[in-house]
Structure 1
Amino acid sequence: MSAEGELPDALRLSVGERHEVAMPGLGTAGYRWDEELTGDAGAVAVEWQRGMSAEEARGRPVGSSAPERIALTATAPGHVTVRLSQRRPWESGPPRAEHTIEIDVTPP
């Protein structure tokens, strides 16, 4: 898993391998990360975890935003571009933040 603030630009995964990336959160201000996949979209499955466990929340100031975690699981060989954008769902216009991850998936 990548630590919060360490966002990879590229990943090389084998089929069945899973990689988690912690995205800086601003949920208390209404911002949320979402993804758009292009390329061999069936090569990667995406899951989001939003919020903090009780253990993670310990020691953080009240009202601080939790990181959002995206889990990328390689499901078939191919190449996928994951475009991540952070925005408020009710607002139009450009996102507050963006990041792109290029993923190459190889056979097991």
Structure 2
Amino acid sequence: MAKQTKAQKETVERVMHEFKHGDLETSAGDTVKSRRQAIAIGLSEAGASNQQSPAENERRLAKTKRQERGDGPTKAELYAQAKKQNIPGRSKMSKAELARAVKG
């Protein structure tokens, strides 16, 4: 396996910690019971998977780091919430405008 960066190691450690304490879930919401599955999830989130393209690995790592920093929801997530709330003009709003519209 290729060398992992510090950020990738930290992500894998966090995922394995969640698995150890029974907090790790699949995308379907089921609790992960297999160590191998937990490792696969950790490598995928860390952008270190050999099953994904280098571009996909970069996207996964960036998304994971964004979520860990707590930058809040993505523009797509805000747009989905605005659509649920039936907010007019949402397609032309920026991320900041969508955030204000969804909250207020």
The TM tier, using the shorter chain, reads under 0.3
Please, what TM-score do these two structures have when normalized by structure 1? 0.24
Please, what TM-score do these two structures have when normalized by structure 2? 0.24
Instruction: Choose between structure 1 and 2 for higher RCO, CA contacts under 8 A separated by at least 6 residues.
Output: 1
Query: Which is greater in Rg?
Result: 2
